[in-house]
Amino acid sequence: MPPLVIGHRGAPGYLPEHTRSSYEWAIAADVDAVEPDVVATKDGVLVIRHENEISGTTDVADRPEFAHLHRTKEFAGRTETGWFTEDFTWDELATLRCRERLPQIRRASAAHDGEEPILRLVDLLAILDAAPRPVGMVLEIKHAAYFAAIGLDLVPRILADLAACGWDRPDAPLIIESFEPTVLGQLRERGLPGTYIHLIEADGAPVDLLLAQGNAAPTYREIVSPAGLDALVGQVDGISLDKKMILAPNALGRVTRPAPVVADAQERGLQVYTWTARPENKFLSRQFRAGDPAAFGDYEGEWQILRDAQLDGVFVDHADLGVAFFR
């Protein structure tokens, strides 16, 4: 059975991520689902952005009326400087326009900079409801521990938006994912139907567990060890792996087969997804690259190994290529 093909932030291989046109492009390309990232505004509105820091994906740096909101913030040992959604009201944020996040790699997409406003979660749900066929949503919850710490708990806001749009029904094609397992558990305890997926980085540890457990917190690598996978059973429905964890090179430095973590998880009844299948040389494993970082390399060679892994879902930036290859 082919994996779910998921339009990662819409179709950002062609149009700026998380815009209406990007999502509509992915839907027209026949993806099974699309994946928004949600963060919150100062007044508690859930908006769709890759991160709460928005200087790389909007024109905020060119807007003098918001210069006073340029901030440096620290949380859980990380410091970041820029403009953050939680410092804007929705009315303020709605005046910004979206930009291509990777303009040197995706020049054609960057030609559409400034054309579209930021979407709210409810806006995307309306787009999906208007689609000519059923399209699922893989809702990624970003920085839940941080937002809770500043008084903007995402859980009740997610529940309210989904309920208002009828996406809290048992048959809604809803998948919920996060790098932070705490927020997944909170939503599940509140009775939100859906498939729950624990996102897994190649390195580091979940920030919510680091805050709660300090040095005792398990790393992502430990979470997907055999013992860690045993502990996930009954807590989540699956995992979503950085593709580097599946495309692990052998002793000669070449990728020839999927890493055993996929089979290990599936043997325990866990679904396994991966992110993100991209065709540009910049994002391919070394042996599949050829020349200009922005040009397409031998992406089919890399993607064949992902297909061999018999995954349950694959996130793609180029929706048409993903549908054609994986389905």
Q: What is the CATH number of the domain that holds 18?
A: 3.20.20.190
Q: Is residue 306, in this structure, part of any structural domain at all? A: yes
Tell me how many domains the chain contains.
1
What mean pLDDT comes out for the span 132-159?
98
pLDDT above 70 as % of the chain: 100
Dump pLDDT digits (tens) for 165-224.
999 999 999 999 999 999 999 999 999 999 999 999 999 999 999 999 999 999 999 999
pLDDT at position 142 is 98
Asked whether residue 78 is assigned to any structural domain, the reply reads: no
Question: In 3-state terms, what secondary structure has residue 141?
Answer: strand
Phi, psi for residue 280 in degrees, rounded to 5: -70, 145
User: Does the pLDDT value for residue 14 go beyond 90?
Assistant: yes
Report if residue 140 sits inside a domain: yes
- Give every CB contact of residue 99 below 8 A, 6+ residues apart in sequence: 16, 56, 57, 58, 59, 110, 113, 114
Indicate if the pLDDT at residue 77 is higher than 90. no
Range of the domain at 43: 4-52+125-326
pTM: 0.97
Report cis status (omega within 30 of 0) of the bond before 89: no
Q: Assess contact for 23 and 97: CB atoms under 8 A.
A: no
Whether the pLDDT of residue 1 is over 90: the answer is no
* pLDDT greater than 90 at residue 76: no
Sign (positive/negative) of CA torsion 249, 251, 256, 262?
negative
- Measure Cα distances from 47 to 41, 115, 164 in Å: 7, 17, 15
Which pLDDT score is estimated for 50? 97
142 is a domain residue: yes
- Tens-digit pLDDT profile for residues 110-134: 999 999 999 999 999 999 999 999 9
Q: Could you tell me if residue 101 is inside a domain?
A: no
Contact 244, 288 (CB under 8 A): no
Return phi, psi of residue 285, to 5°: -60, 150
pLDDT at 56 over 90: yes
| Contact criterion met (CB below 8 Å) for 37 and 7 | no
Strands 195-200 and 4-8: unpaired
Please tell me the predicted confidence (pLDDT) of residue 256.
Answer: 95
Length reported for the chain? 327
Tell me what the mean pLDDT of segment 296-320 comes to. 98
Residue at 85 is within a domain: no
Does residue 86 lie in a domain region? no
> What are the percentages of helix, strand and coil residues in the chain, rounded to 5?
35, 20, 45
Mapped onto helix, strand or coil, the DSSP state of residue 172 is coil
Rounded-to-integer distance, Cα 242 and Cα 52, Å: 21
Q: Is residue 94 part of a domain?
A: no
